[in-house]
Structure 1
Amino acid sequence: MDSDRIKGSWKQIKGRIQQEWGELSDDDLSEAEGHRDYLIGKVQERYGIAKEEARKQVEAFEKKL
């Protein structure tokens, strides 16, 4: 799913993101609001993983959409 579609469907996708990464707060997701790089950074921060691993996880999530 491309970034324009993610931004357009953010409210529906937000719930699925919270299921995938439960450590992300509502504030985190409100700040992300469809911005992929911010989401990658928050996944990295909350889960203490490398940026490349967070990027891979977000890409895999996007493919599931």
Structure 2
Amino acid sequence: MKTNTKLKIEGSWKEIKGKLKQKYAELTEDDLMYEEGQTDELLGRLQRKLGRSIDEIKEEINRL
């Protein structure tokens, strides 16, 4: 599952970022900052901010 999430993030991050911002107004640009190869760091920030598990966040990203 990690590989699918990573590919989805790298392939269409701008679109995913916009959808996450619409759904979670509390997310800031800093929360959603992503650089190639930094998937785990991004997921950790989202986990802390949203209070959800990494697996839940990955599943949601894959559904977007």
| Equivalent pairs, count | 60
Secondary structure of 1:57's counterpart equals helix
Secondary structure of 2:30's counterpart equals helix
Q: Write out aligned runs for 1:1-65 (5 A).
A: 2=4, 3-30=6-33, 32-33=34-35, 35-47=38-50, 49=51, 53-65=52-64
Which runs of 5 or more residues in structure 1 are unaligned?
none
CA distance in 1, matches of 2:59, 2:25: 16
TM-score, normalised via structure 2 length: 0.61
CA gap of 1:5–1:43, structure 2 versus 1, over 3 A, is closer
Deviation of 1:11 after TM superposition, in Å, equals 0.7
TM-score, normalised via structure 1 length: 0.60
Q: Deviations over 1:1-52 (max 9, x none)?
A: 822342121111111122343322112212x3464312221123224x4xxx
Question: Which structure has more helix as a fraction of its residues?
Answer: 1
